[in-house]
Chains A and B, each alone.
Chain A
Amino acid sequence: MNRIKKRLTILNAVIEAMIKSPETVKYPFGDLTLPEGYRGKIEFDPDKCSGCGLCVRDCPAEALHLNKKSREEYTLLYYPARCAYCGQCEDSCRHGAISHSNKLVGATTHKDDWVLVFKDSKASQE
């Protein structure tokens, strides 16, 4: 008897699947809920950045680049295509300037989006 019940498990699963609605998430057309802590698109707060370069040193994918002329004068560049979204920069930053949002990373069609200027100290002073 138990064996027959076990034998019917697959039939049960199939019928259950037929009755329930499909599990597919129709993402671009439907809703997709990402968890709070999802490591998605990187957000940057230029006011908090001190230009220490810790994030650049720890980035495993070399997606961050610092052109430093002096303590005050520097540009921080970010290459999204290289980024592995590992979250190391967020951990390394002591001032909390870099953080992950839980937004998905979209594709880019524009060449200028391949390099993002996170902070240009000259521009912010002017």
Chain B
Amino acid sequence: MDKISIPIGPQHPLLKEPLSMMVDIAGEKVLGGSLRLGYVHRGIERLAQQRTYVQNVHLIERICGICSHVHTTAYCYAVEALLGIEIPPRAQYIRALMCELERIHSHLLWLGILAKHIGLETIFMHTWHDREMALDIMEEISGGRVSHAANQIGGVRFDLDEEHGDMIRGILKKLHSQVDGLLDIIETEPAAIARTKGVAPISSDLIKAYGVVGPVARASGVDIDLRRDAPLPPYDKLQVKVVTHPGGDAWARTYVRAEETRVSLNLCEKILEDLPEGDVSLRTPRRVPEGEVIIRSEAPRGELFYYLRSDGSDKPARLKVRTPTLAALSLLPVQLAEINVADIPVVLAGVDLCIACADR
């Protein structure tokens, strides 16, 4: 059969963010593919050098529309490390609470997208409805649905009271039963299993060779999670259960993400229980002393890396961000070989791309 190339992207119903892929196919078989990136490059790292540390919190938040909070968390911890201060424990816990809520909504969003790609639109609508509950919590406590603006250098910008706690606990309870139902569906829906099980499995060796992190790595049996391995402040007091699955295929990733959502729900409850008393923010100087620092944090998609260098002024001298999606993207052409055309959406959805993160 003749080889033909089909373009997927930059505009394609499959993609929510621009990414260009040329996929070589023969009939219904995929032979391979190549990638082109950079459609949403906004030059944020350079922009950050021209703005003050305070302004940058809001700039960094706009790197990603899904995991916006974890970006600012990593950035704020980096600045605070340079300043040599430790924020109040209550602020640390609130930051962690927001991170976990963000993980819940990111994973639910991902589950919905996978369901939509395999033609299960009902599950797409239902998961996105459930995800809205997590967003409601964040809107209620921080004031923003997607751009929460929860962090400031030296702490967080809002405090939780008893009323908030009750509201959050109520919604988390509802979410728990919804996620249980979702797991049931993932485990039993025959067509969904047929579409995801055994599709483009990745071995753990390949994961390590490409440096892939996050749920994709954990679904191939690689046991890494920065919340346990190199925890930022509140996580060292919380025992995080790391979910792994040896499968390596799309189904294993679905399972890992659904289970992680459950773990995050439990973590949220634990954080609310353990929430220490005290202030939520410190006053900080505007100028940051000279130095450089590396902060790693576990984003919903894996390890997030921040490098920050200061020259003593009120603007950063260099800010480098490495997002987990970049490693997953490099693995994409490898996965595209020897699959069906109908499996392309599953593979693409499986790695949970966040192009805006990767391009910045």
Tell me, rounded to whole Å, the shortest Cβ–Cβ distance linking A83 to chain B: 11
Q: Which residue of B lies closest to A17 (CB)?
A: B126
The proximity string for B residues 115-134 relative to A, scoring 1 for CB distances below 8 Å and 0 otherwise, is: 00000001100100100000
- Complex partner residue of A100 from B122, B139, B143, CB under 8 angstroms: B143
- Tell yes or no: B235 within 8 A of A by CB: no
Tell me, rounded to whole Å, the shortest Cβ–Cβ distance linking B249 to chain A: 21
B129 & A13 in contact (Cβ 8 Å cutoff): no
**For the complex, what is the distance from the CA of A61 to the CA of B62, rounded to whole Å?**
12
- Complex partner residue of B52 from A23, A58, A87, CB under 8 angstroms: A58
- Tell yes or no: B184 within 8 A of A by CB: yes
Residue from A10, A12, A23, A92 with most neighbouring chain B CB atoms (10 Å): A10
With a CB–CB cut-off of 8 A, which chain B residues contact A84? 58, 62, 147
Known: A10-B123, A13-B126. A60 touches B144 (CB 8 A): no
- Tell yes or no: A9 within 8 A of B by CB: yes
A86 & B184 in contact (Cβ 8 Å cutoff): no
- Tell yes or no: A30 within 8 A of B by CB: no
A6 & B187 in contact (Cβ 8 Å cutoff): yes
Known: A37-B143, A60-B59. A10 touches B185 (CB 8 A): yes
- Complex partner residue of A9 from B144, B149, B181, CB under 8 angstroms: B181
- Tell yes or no: B54 within 8 A of A by CB: yes
Tell me, rounded to whole Å, the shortest Cβ–Cβ distance linking B160 to chain A: 11
Q: Which residue of A lies closest to B51 (CB)?
A: A60
With a CB–CB cut-off of 8 A, which chain A residues contact B129? 23
Known: A9-B188, A86-B149. A38 touches B157 (CB 8 A): no
B188 & A6 in contact (Cβ 8 Å cutoff): yes
Question: Of residues 55 to 98 in B, which have CB atoms within 8 Å of A's CB atoms?
Answer: 55-59, 61-62
- Complex partner residue of A38 from B62, B143, B185, CB under 8 angstroms: B143
With a CB–CB cut-off of 8 A, which chain B residues contact A12? 181
Question: Of residues 85 to 103 in A, which have CB atoms within 8 Å of B's CB atoms?
Answer: 85-88, 91-92, 100
- Point out residues on A near B: beta carbons under 8 Å: 3, 6-7, 9-10, 12-14, 17, 23, 35, 37-39, 57-61, 84-88, 91-92, 100
- Point out residues on B near A: beta carbons under 8 Å: 51-52, 54-59, 61-62, 122-123, 126, 129, 139-144, 147, 149, 152, 157-158, 181, 184-185, 187-189
